[in-house]
Chains A and B, each alone.
Chain A
Amino acid sequence: MKTPDTIETPPFLADHPPHPDFNAMSDVGFRELVREFVSSHYPDIPRFAQRRLRWPEVKPWYARLARCGWLAPTWPQALGGMGLDATRHLILIEEFERYGCARIHDIGTVMLGPLLMQYGSSEQQDHYLPRILQGEDIWAQGYSEPGAGSDLAALRTTAIRDGDEWVIDGQKTWVTLGADANQVFVLARTDATVKKQAGISFLLAPMDAPGVTVRPIENLEGHAEFCEIFFDAVRIPLGNIVGEVNQGWTMAKALLGHERVFIGAPRLSASALARLEALARKNGLWNDPAFGDRFAALAMDLGDLNDLFESYMDRLRRGEVIGPDVGVLKIFQSELYQRISEELMQVAGSLAGVRLDDDGDRRHDAAGTYLAARPTTIFGGSTEIMRNVLARYSLDLPA
């Protein structure tokens, strides 16, 4: 693993000239700009990493994006973002992907920031948004619990009001990059007497508060990428609640819809298909007609997924709310990603199980792709849950 030469410490203060109106640029012009940006600013850290880079590794990139004002592409410029519309945002994502940029710790910019803009008080916005942009707060998402996965509303972590504080007790799990975060947003039960969904609130908790313990969990790829967080009588100020008391469920659901569109983006399948081509060429299967037929089917599926994604993006651009139909995208993308990864395992043959170390050449890595593809049908709403929701709310079938 490469260690950056200069480890910067937050706050990363923006020092750039005012942004132009990126949305007024042509698609081609904007794409050109992003390419140039990436190639001149991407620091000396891994590209095309299969795993999520940890905070010390990704920090130089986060810092660079922060200084240039490129950290929060979709936030309004007035709040320190780039103010990109959906089209420009997609172009930016594509170009970052093409260069193999590491994914930053983006829960703050992608999830919490937009949530605060919609539901947060102006004090909360003034306090937290700049801290995200300056790298002072790295956020983690504390929704799931051992007993509350698909059935999230069954969560049992409680927050009880005691004077001018909330006292949190309970356990969150599968928190992605939780061990790198200094803040966590937590769904907690604030009223046990009402319907499950109606007694949940959205709270903000610093991870260094007394009573917070973190236990890293190793995933199948061998990385401690997610963790458990235990709350033992953790006290936070009364003001650390977003929205009204017991309004948490509505807000949490609003965030999930957004997440699902992006899990539906074709980029994971696209990079897996490129890997499949590379491996088939290496293993002498590229000109095999039977393989060719399977490859063509997958390539067509990817093309159709692209079109589907674009059509959803169009709907977002027009300001439509996508609703349960987002499941179509999420199901097809995640299952296509898995099918491509399974074909990779076939092509890798008797060497399919080879386990590369962190510095291994990923261009032909079948097993790594296979493992990376597994969780995409589980998080952000499992494919089974997505199918249930589609059947019920999109197809209007009886419960």
Chain B
Amino acid sequence: MNLFGITNAPPVPKIEPEKPQGTLDWAKDIRFSSWNDRIPEEPAFRPLPWGRILILLLALAALLLPFLIRDDAGIRMFALVFVSIILEALPFMLVGSLVGGLIEEFVSREKFTVRLPRRPWVMVCIAAALGIVFPVCECAIVPVVRRLVRKGLPLSAAVAYLLGGPIVNPIVATSTLLAYKFNWIVPGIRLAAGYAIATVVGLIMGRLFMRRTALLETHDSHAHSCVCGHAHQAHKKLPSRIFAAIRHASNDFSAVAHYLVVGAAIAALAQTVVDRRLFLNCASLPLLPSLLMMLLAILLNLCSDADAFIAASFRGLLSLPAQMAFMLTGPMFDLKLLLMYRTLFHRRAIIVLAGLILFSVFIVTAILEMIWGRGT
């Protein structure tokens, strides 16, 4: 017996309950036992889905509101901003869904996975810069990545492309250059920092999560149920393959677009209520302006092609690191993206991803503030 009154007897072997035949061995796939997915028990009775009923009622109220209050200045501004965000994002999302549908139908899983680089870090480094070749904004990228993931793109590379694509691309570089009056340093820092964050976060996500614990199974009501992995599409004729691609695209669009609407509504509300001059009151404090600009980027849900112009409007008022915090956060993480990530990741993965993005942006802006100072 030791000091604590515990005998040094050999540990009693733990008897594992016998695993029923046919169940999945989750433990093999999960590195952190605390993050294990619980297999839900079959409920004795099915309770009413109050949460979803509440959402339904809220959506119904939002639908009726413009018919009840028409002349209020606030609701008119809300409506204008709300519809503007949706109309701006809609073509990109529709085209993104179409690209996703074409990938699903015309890219075979075997060929796709064979062509991926063998070394994971190389794949992540390439994926984070893929936006240079395939420039996509953040609205279009989610449906594309959903399909790439289905084709076997690893989690780390998917995250790297998801985060890097909307920043590391020529359109964003050009718009940032124009917004900052051809000052090459700003787009240079933006693209380099965006690339670095996308790569690092992609690698970390790949270390922290297994594919199954991070990524949702994407169900396509029209995809056939065969799981053998062979490319059955090759047997179909071109018109029917195109039709199938459009069907996949339509499903993808329906699965993601409602998150865009909710995100746009919250952003429009924020634009109707938040006074931007409030952000200027803390301009002289260290790091706080960066944090507030990150918050503003999350609330405003701006397109990555246009956000540089908003950031540039704070020139002379807030420091460049604070402006950079705005330009780095928005394309990687804002309200509509937070909701759209729900079609791709499990909740825990989203929480970790959001934390990593915000932490990385904060670190980058802190480093920039050390180098650049807090001057405007």
Whether A associates with B in a native complex is no
